[in-house]
Amino acid sequence: MVGQSSSDVVILGGGLAGLTLAIQLKQARPETSIVVLDKREGLAPEAAFKVGESTVPAGAHYFAEVVGMKEHLDKFHLKKNGLRFFQPAGDNGDITRRIELGPADFPAHDNYQIDRGRFENELTRLVLAAGVDLRQGCAVRDVTLRPTANHSISFTQGGAERSIDSRWLVDAAGRAGVIKRKLGIGREVAHTIDASWFRLAGGIDLEQWGADNPTWMGRMRKVGIRQFSTNHLMGPGYWVWLIPLGSDHISIGICADPRLHPYAEISDFDHVLDWLRRHEPQLAEVVSSRVDSVADFLTVQDFAFGVDRVYSQDRWTLVGEAGAFADAFYSPGSDMIGYGNSVTTDLITRDLAGLEIGERVEYYNDFHLRTFEFVLSKIEDHYPAFGNPVVMVPKLCWDAMLNHVGVVLLFVKNKFVDYEFLQRVRNDIERFYAINDRVQQIFRDWHLLEQVETPGPAQAYVPAKAIRESHTALVLDYDDDELSSAIARNVRIAEALAVGIFHRAARNLNPRPDPAVPVNPYAVSLRPDDWQTNGLFAGDVLLTLAQADEISEGMQGLFIDRLLDGAA
Ligand SMILES: Cc1cc2nc3c(=O)[nH]c(=O)nc-3n(C[C@H](O)[C@H](O)[C@H](O)COP(=O)(O)OP(=O)(O)OC[C@H]3O[C@@H](n4cnc5c(N)ncnc54)[C@H](O)[C@@H]3O)c2cc1C
């Protein structure tokens, strides 16, 4: 055996999570010895490398501000115009008839569309400059985890067997999930979605599809900026992403529920083209006229998975896709990398400073798993409703609001690993998670009770005040008291929204609940048999619909009834 050595930290995998963690660790504690083992050799292709291109506020903040990549991102990648969603209308032959949710201009908080190859190459350069021992061409074969001694990692490099010892072991090997497999701590999730994607050189400006409709064009503050969003073309059981990239490619991907779209229909490029012709004809027309510009084609079946533990007192952690992955919808992958890497950095630096970490490990492990459940609940079993705007419009707004006011706000304000502060606001964050579970089940049940097709042309959609403010609040400055008050205020607003959503969805019940009777937002459901047992009419927080309307100004704007009436 050659190459035996020892290190403070070994990171398995030098992809997005592993490389950013190495940089973050070196920034936090420069003297830390770090070895990164990665299978790949040499530079990544600049374009058409991996998925994970669209970032949302927490992930964007992590890469730009925490890891320090802002200058590189501003120069070599694209600033992103938020998330934009199109509901279906008729045969989807005219984008201007589809209900559209998305910002009229670039949001206040910078987000980016990232070319993964270009980004990882720059991270590699910085990792080496920081003195990290990055070893490429190394395939990790096995790990021996030791609670009271250094861990041991065996790998092959250029055909030779090697091993290394380390105090800390971080699994950042993505879907290979080395530690997860070794310990058997993977967890199945009841969310089975397939995806196929490709990159098209030369990009696509989807605004051109509606360029002769001045009303539609006039919805945006400037011509030509719609394309910089992560555009979601949605329909029953699927969504298609369109992500422009700095290398002048566009990433195009289908995520589909196999109950409605069997995997065979998207499993190769020719099938994808046929599928697009049936479901997204405007996109199909552009792609089929430019097949020579298709740079790659990749696919993954049943992409979601969970895990029982991500941080261990035995000095190992799982970051990025080596832990858990829910869905690409809402682009949460990089957020989860930011959370995992930041906690890992905190735990390692404390441990190497001789501090006790046991309590923090358990606390953050629990918080991470709860946060993952929150992310998953927003998407699990919701694909069937993706083409039903009566449910999806309020759902997209609810999800956007709830996403920005809790853990993302904490992270963007650099309070995520402030252990004392997190403990102070944890109850309120848990309230978001609890109320969200209720409201997500309402959305699932509502879809079974009420389905509409929008006749179009759809008017511009103006979301409620709470949703708009949840985005702008990310760029405000807060001291600790102000931040905890802002989170508490948002709990009140979420409670009000939950009551409003309940009453609108419950119009489909017979008899309907009386809006003048106060209800408990943590017990709302569309299953009347559960109301008494769940405590719908009891509890500390009770709201009538009128009270809920007053707390969350403009809430009725969440519902598309006016839009449907107007079009009729
Ligand atoms: C369809 C789809 C779309 C997505 N879209 C988005 C999105 O828009 N936005 C977003 O934020 N996230 C998105 N994600 C998630 C995103 O792809 C992941 O969060 C991200 O790529 C995970 O990075 P990672 O570093 O954990 O894994 P990777 O980037 O896969 O890195 C793992 C590294 O480990 C190395 N490795 C693996 N096995 C071994 C071994 N045995 N020995 C040594 N090295 C090894 C590999 O070479 C690789 O470099 C998407 C995911 C999917 C499936």
Pocket test for ligand 1, best of 161, 321, 329 (most atoms within 8 A of CB): 321
Task: List pLDDT tens digits, range 190-219.
Answer: 999 999 999 999 999 999 999 999 999 998
pLDDT computed for residue 472 by the predictor: 86
Task: List pLDDT tens digits, range 405-443.
Answer: 999 999 999 999 999 999 999 999 999 999 999 999 999
Can you tell me the mean pLDDT for 73-85?
96
For the chain, what is the radius of gyration of the CA atoms?
24
With cut-offs at 50, 70 and 90, classify the pLDDT of residue 253: very high
For the cut 60, the answer to whether the pLDDT of residue 4 exceeds it is no
For ligand 1, the distance from its centroid to the CA atom of residue 516, given in whole angstroms, is 50
Pocket test for ligand 1, best of 10, 36, 38, 305 (most atoms within 8 A of CB): 38
Its CATH class, for the domain covering 6-49+60-72+115-185+308-357, is: alpha beta
Single out the residue of 490, 488, 471 nearest to residue 480, CA to CA.
488
Single out the residue of 273, 377, 371, 269 nearest to residue 329, CA to CA.
377
Mean pLDDT score across all residues of the chain: 95
Atom of ligand 1 nearest to the CA of 175: 30
For ligand 1, the distance from its centroid to the CA atom of residue 326, given in whole angstroms, is 13
Residue indicated by tokens 């895990």: 307
For the cut 50, the answer to whether the pLDDT of residue 1 exceeds it is no
Helix ranges (H only) for 289-388 are 333-352, 358-377
Task: List pLDDT tens digits, range 494-544.
Answer: 999 999 999 999 999 999 999 999 999 999 999 999 999 999 999 999 999
Q: Is 47 in the pocket of ligand 1 (CB under 6 A)?
A: no
For the cut 60, the answer to whether the pLDDT of residue 460 exceeds it is no
Q: Is 194 in the pocket of ligand 1 (CB under 6 A)?
A: no
Atom of ligand 1 nearest to the CA of 17: 25
pLDDT computed for residue 455 by the predictor: 66
With cut-offs at 50, 70 and 90, classify the pLDDT of residue 554: confident
Q: Range(s) for CATH 3.30.9 in the chain?
A: 78-113+192-300
* 420 within 8 A of 480, measured Cβ to Cβ: no
Its CATH class, for the domain covering 78-113+192-300, is: alpha beta
Q: Is 37 in the pocket of ligand 1 (CB under 6 A)?
A: yes
- Reduce the DSSP state of residue 82 to 3 states and report it: coil
Share of the chain above pLDDT 70, in %: 97
Q: Is 265 in the pocket of ligand 1 (CB under 6 A)?
A: no
Token duo for residue 504: 């609108």
Token duo for residue 143: 């790990």
Residue indicated by tokens 């998975």: 305
For ligand 1, the distance from its centroid to the CA atom of residue 174, given in whole angstroms, is 5
Atom of ligand 1 nearest to the CA of 243: 8
Can you tell me the mean pLDDT for 38-48?
90
pLDDT computed for residue 567 by the predictor: 47
Does this model's pTM top 0.85? My answer is: yes
- Reduce the DSSP state of residue 133 to 3 states and report it: strand
Task: List pLDDT tens digits, range 256-295.
Answer: 999 999 999 999 999 999 999 999 999 999 999 999 999 9
Atom of ligand 1 nearest to the CA of 54: 8
Q: Range(s) for CATH 3.50.50.60 in the chain?
A: 6-49+60-72+115-185+308-357
For the cut 70, the answer to whether the pLDDT of residue 458 exceeds it is no
For ligand 1, the distance from its centroid to the CA atom of residue 108, given in whole angstroms, is 28
Q: Is 300 in the pocket of ligand 1 (CB under 6 A)?
A: yes
For ligand 1, the distance from its centroid to the CA atom of residue 134, given in whole angstroms, is 18
| Dist CA 96 CA 526 (whole Å) | 33
Q: What is the DSSP letter of 143?
A: E
